[in-house]
């Protein structure tokens, strides 16, 4: 890989609709208040589908093309589980049973 200036961290994600984003932001605020944590800005809340990792920025157009080739209709997703990563430093909402649409 080339120097760090030409690399980026990438992932594929779903972006929740506005009402779901508001509910997630409220939940995040309650949890952060209880454990003296901090929240991700609501506009950055997303559901990571696949973490690609650190890649050379020249790969971005290829990954965009691959992502844009996926066409799905809207679907409902029940976020019914909280996950704790990194020795408790990150709390994320997730699903206990992934639906077929994912």
So where are the chain's domains? Answer: 4-94
Residue 18 reports pLDDT greater than 80? yes
Calculate mean pLDDT across residues 91-98: 88
pLDDT digits (tens, 9 = 90+) for 50-64: 999 999 999 999 999
H-state helical runs in 38-95: 60-68
Candidates 13, 17, 14, 42; CA nearest to 28 is 42
Percentage of the chain surpassing pLDDT 90? 53
Q: Which CATH architecture has domain 4-94?
A: Alpha-Beta Complex (3.90)
What pTM was computed for the model?
0.76
Helix (H, G, I), strand (E, B) or coil at 14: strand
Residue 4, pLDDT above cutoff 60: no
| 32 contacts: CB under 8 Å, gap ≥ 6 | 38, 39
pLDDT value at position 74?
84
Which DSSP symbol is given to 80?
A: -
Alpha helices, H only, 11-97: 18-35, 60-68
């Amino acid at each position: 890989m080339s120097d760090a200036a030409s690399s980026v961290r990438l992932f594929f994600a779903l972006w929740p609709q506005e009402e779901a984003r508001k509910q997630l932001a409220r939940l995040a605020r309650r949890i952060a208040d209880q454990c003296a944590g901090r929240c991700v800005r609501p506009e950055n809340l997303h559901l990571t589908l696949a973490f690609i990792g650190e890649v050379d920025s020249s790969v971005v157009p290829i990954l965009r093309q691959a992502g844009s080739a996926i066409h799905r209709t809207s679907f409902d997703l029940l976020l019914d589980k909280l996950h704790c990563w990194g020795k408790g430093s990150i709390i994320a909402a997730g699903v206990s049973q992934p639906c077929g649409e994912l």
